[in-house]
Structure 1
Amino acid sequence: MNQLKQLSEEQAGKLKTELQNQRTEANQMKQQQQHVTQVAFSASLLDQGDGNTGPFNGHTTLIFKHVVTNIGNAYNKNTGIFTAPVRGVYHFDWKVLGRDSASVGAFLFRNEEKISLAYESQSTGGWPSASNGASLLLEVGDQ
Structure 2
Amino acid sequence: MLFPLLLLICSLSTAQSEIKPDSKITPLLNQGREPAQDSDLQQTCTPDINSVLREMSASLKGELITIKSRAEITENQVKTLKRDGEGFNISHFNTVCFSLSVKRVAFSASLLGTESKNIGPFNTHTPLVYKHVVTNIGNAYNPHTGSFTAPVRGAYHFEFYVYGHHSHPAGAVLVKNGEHIFIAYEHSTSPNAVSSSNGVTLLLEVGDVVFLKLWVNAWIFDNENQHSTFSGHLLFTM
SS in 1 for 2:102: helix
Q: Who is 1:15 aligned against?
A: none
SS in 2 for 1:38: coil
> Structure 1: which 5+ residue stretches go unaligned?
1-18
- Within the alignment, does 1:39 sit opposite 2:93 as a pair? no
TM-score normalised by structure 1 residue count: 0.76
Structure index of larger Rg: 2
Matches of residues 62-141 of structure 1 in structure 2 within 5 Å?
Answer: 62-141=128-207
Matches of residues 5-84 of structure 1 in structure 2 within 5 Å?
Answer: 27=93, 30-84=96-150
Find the aligned partners of 1:130 and 1:100 in 2 and give their Cα distance: 12
Find the aligned partners of 1:30 and 1:80 in 2 and give their Cα distance: 30
| Matched-pair contact (CA < 8 Å) for 2:166–2:187 | no
Find the aligned partners of 2:116 and 2:101 in 1 and give their Cα distance: 33
User: Identity rate of aligned residues, in percent?
Assistant: 52
Find the aligned partners of 1:46 and 1:80 in 2 and give their Cα distance: 12
Give, in angstroms, the shift of residue 30 of structure 1: 4.0
Give, in angstroms, the shift of residue 56 of structure 1: 2.2
Would you tell me which structure has more helix in proportion to its own residues? Answer: 2
Q: 1:40-64: per-residue Cα shift (whole Å, max 9, x none)?
A: 0010000224322222221111101
Find the aligned partners of 1:28 and 1:52 in 2 and give their Cα distance: 46
Note the aligned Cα RMSD (angstroms).
Answer: 2.2
Would you tell me which structure has more strand in proportion to its own residues? Answer: 1
